[in-house]
Structure 1
Amino acid sequence: MAGSGGRFLTVASAATLVATEAIATAVAAGWALAGLFHLGDIGEYALMALFTAVALYASWIYLRKATAAEASLPH
């Protein structure tokens, strides 16, 4: 039952979890650093956007590597 459809669901679920946690951490880090350094609203949004972009890139790399790892497993 754990054929290619099950593997795809596993990779998609793990990637969604990792991406959600990475983005939440990025937004929280931007908010915290902007507050710590008194950067104001614009600085806060800029840091959130910057950290979110990094989190999305890291999530994309994770998805690619997880897909490659699952594809290399024997059927």
Structure 2
Amino acid sequence: MSEKPLNLVHLSTLVAVAILVGTELVATSWAAGWALGGLFQLDPAVSRIFEIVFALAGFVGLYFFMRTAVRHEPIR
């Protein structure tokens, strides 16, 4: 079974989109956790937990976004 060669244009587009959207999504999520911790004047440890939970939510969002992007821009 021979596989199709990699489509480098689609691959470079997906890498660029992952970097751009990933940075925006994860940074915004992290900042939201930081802002909520400061707004409610939470303990720094609790604020860090908020940041981590929100950042993980950003990574989950990035995963689902990239899954859809790969479906529409196949690499092979």
Q: Aligning the two structures, in what range does the TM-score lie when normalised by the shorter sequence?
A: 0.7 to 0.9
Letter in 2 for 1:57: V
| Counterpart secondary structure, 1:38 | coil
Q: Which of the numbers 22, 46, 69 marks the counterpart of 1:19?
A: 22
In structure 1, the gaps of 5 or more residues are none
Runs ≥4 in structure 1, deviation > 3 angstroms?
Answer: none
Instruction: Trace 1:62-73 onto structure 2 (pairs within 5 A).
Output: 62-71=65-74
Write the deviation string for residues 3-49 of structure 1: whole angstroms up to 9, x where unpaired: 71111110111111111111110111111100110112111100110
Which residue number corresponds to residue 3 of structure 2? none
Cα distance between partner residues in 2 of 1:41 and 1:32: 12
Which residue number corresponds to residue 41 of structure 2? 38
Equivalent residues, number:
69
Structural RMSD (CA): 1.2
Which residue number corresponds to residue 4 of structure 1? 7
Letter in 1 for 2:15: A
Write the deviation string for residues 49-74 of structure 1: whole angstroms up to 9, x where unpaired: 00011000110111111011012xxx
Percent identity of paired positions between Structure 1 and Structure 2: 32
Q: Which has the higher helix share?
A: 1
TM-score normalised by L of structure 1: 0.85
Which residue number corresponds to residue 58 of structure 1? 61
TM-score normalised by L of structure 2: 0.84
